[in-house]
Amino acid sequence: SGEGGRERIADFDVSPPPRYVSTEEDEGAETSENHVVQEALATAKNLFASIAASVAGEFKIPALEYQLLGKMNKVASEKYGHMADFTSGLAIFVESLREKEESLVPLATQIDGLEGQLDELEAIVQQLDEYSKRLENRVKKYVFS
């Protein structure tokens, strides 16, 4: 007997019933009865084997899903590891670019100063060109007049 009035399968005795001394009439009935018991036992064994296979089949799908999930987690973990490595490499690269940019700031300032001087020089050249044209016109006016 099990808990709560239920009986567990393991508590059943599946051995054949005890034999008793019988008469010839009983032997034919006993053989037929023994055959029925053996068939019932075989059927019960088949039933329990089928139930066990069914339960195993029901648990196989979630087990396979958990295996797949585990593999997916492993792949994702590896991918995130590669991404972290790549990101740290990018951070180092960005820092080196920032240092190079900072080293170029004085040169950019110098270039800006040179550009301003070039603008002034162009203005002076323009004024000189205009002056030389006016001077040329005066010389032509006095030489050819």
pLDDT digits (tens, 9 = 90+) for 102-122: 999 999 999 999 999 999 999
What is d(CA 48, CA 79) in angstroms, rounded to the nearest whole number? 46
- Which residues have C-beta within 8 Å of that of residue 34, sequence separation ≥ 6? 16
Take residue 41 and report the two structure tokens written for it.
Answer: 């036992």
Q: What is the pLDDT of residues 71-106, one digit of tens each?
A: 999 999 999 999 999 999 999 999 999 999 999 999
> Residue 22 above 90 pLDDT?
no
Residues 139, 140, 143, 145: what is their CA dihedral angle, to the nearest 10 degrees? -130
What does pTM read for this prediction?
0.41
